[in-house]
Amino acid sequence: MLATVMVVEGVLRVPDGEGHFDTGWSLYQALAKNSRLYLLSATWTEEQCSLWLAKRQLRGHINYLHQPLPGTAGRLEVLDRIRSWHIGLVLEPNPSIAAALLRSGWNTAVITHSAYTQPQWRPDYDGTPRRWDELTEAVEHQTALRLIDPRAQE
């Protein structure tokens, strides 16, 4: 059975908030049923995380891992402590940390949410901010596409 580590902040929970991502919630449900799921948090204690999960009726993970050191070094330190658990996949929201995990031999999936992804993490980021006119034009174009989408009419 696959063993998976899911980073809570950015995959399951909205960073710096109480909300959750629907995609992360669905992933949690699927992985809790079909794998050995471990949760990793760099922000909350186990008690805080357990309360947050209980409010959302998210049960089924095997264990909780706390990351006391911030950033890439902290993530690698926690994962290196559990290397003998034969983790098959790490779900990571930060592409730069994911790159370091890959270099260290961890199978990693980067999960990003468009509304909370830092611009420099996006694959289409070219280093220059977009003009306001381009942004409003893109929003208007997406709105128009949604209005004519036959799937939205059903």
Q: What is the pLDDT, as a whole number, of residue 123?
A: 61
* 154, part of any domain: no
- CATH of residue 94: 3.40.50.1000
Total domains, the chain: 1
Successive 10-residue mean pLDDT values, the chain, 154 residues: 94 88 93 96 92 92 94 96 95 93 95 69 65 83 84 66
User: Is residue 39 a part of any domain in this protein?
Assistant: yes
Decide if 63 is inside a domain. Answer: yes
Cα 118–14–89 angle (5° rounding)?
Answer: 80
Cβ atoms of 25 and 12 closer than 8 Å: yes
pLDDT value, residue 143: 85
Is 42 within the bounds of a domain?
yes
For residue 68, what are the domain limits? 3-122
Burial of residue 92 (CB within 10 Å: 0-12, 13-18, 19+) is buried
Q: What is the dihedral of CA 90, 92, 95, 99, to 10 degrees?
A: -20
Q: State residue 126's pLDDT score.
A: 67
Neighbours of 119 (CB within 10 A): 11
Q: Which amino acid would we find at residue 81?
A: R
Cβ neighbors of 121 (< 8 A, separation 6 or more) are: 94, 95, 96, 112
